[in-house]
A = this chain, B = another copy of it.
Amino acid sequence: MALATASVRACSVARTLEVVGEKWALLAIREVFLGARKFEEMVANTGAPRDTLAARLKTLVAHGILERRRYSERPPRDEYVLTDAGRDLYPVIISLMQWGDRHRPLDGGPPMLLEHSCGHRMHARLTCESCGGLVEYGTAKRIRA
């Protein structure tokens, strides 16, 4: 009687989502990327309940995605800044943004345009570090697990 009970896949996607997978977490991170580092700004820009946002910021700090930095002593004021690990979430945010731009467009075009440092309107894509070729569904195969 072989018992092959629920061995959940060990997967980096799941481990990442444990950190940023909650409803307002990525939106808070987006705000920091966009320069809104203060609690009040994030509340206004995301529409998150203050309550929930405070909790998310706390766990993001605990997980080393954000850092809380005091930028004024009198009055005491803190802002949230990205750690290195937080900055590494940039591709996640950009990928989500591009999907939304393409598949959930707004009348009047994308709500936000980004310009890459090369001077062109930014269209990002995932490429292979070795060959430079496009990475999309079907261009990769599993070689372990």
A93-140 interface (Cβ within 8 A of B): 93-104, 106, 110-118, 120-133, 135-137, 139-140
B129 touches A12 (CB 8 A): no
Interface residues of A: mostly helix, strand, loop or mixed? Answer: mixed
Q: Which residues of chain B have C-beta atoms less than 8 A from A125's C-beta? A: 91, 126-127, 129
Q: Counting CB contacts under 8 A, is A57 at the interface?
A: no
Instruction: Considering the complex, give the chain B residue whose CB is closest to the CB of A103.
Output: B85
Question: Are A136 and B13 within 8 A (Cβ)?
Answer: no
State whether the Cβ of A1 lies closer than 8 Å to any Cβ in chain B: no
Contact present for B17 and A23 (CB under 8 Å): yes
Interface residue ranges of A4-30 to B (CB < 8 Å): 6-19, 21-23, 26-27, 30
B91 touches A126 (CB 8 A): yes
CB neighbours (8 Å) of A74 from chain B are: none
Q: Select from chain B the residue with minimum beta-carbon distance to A14.
A: B27
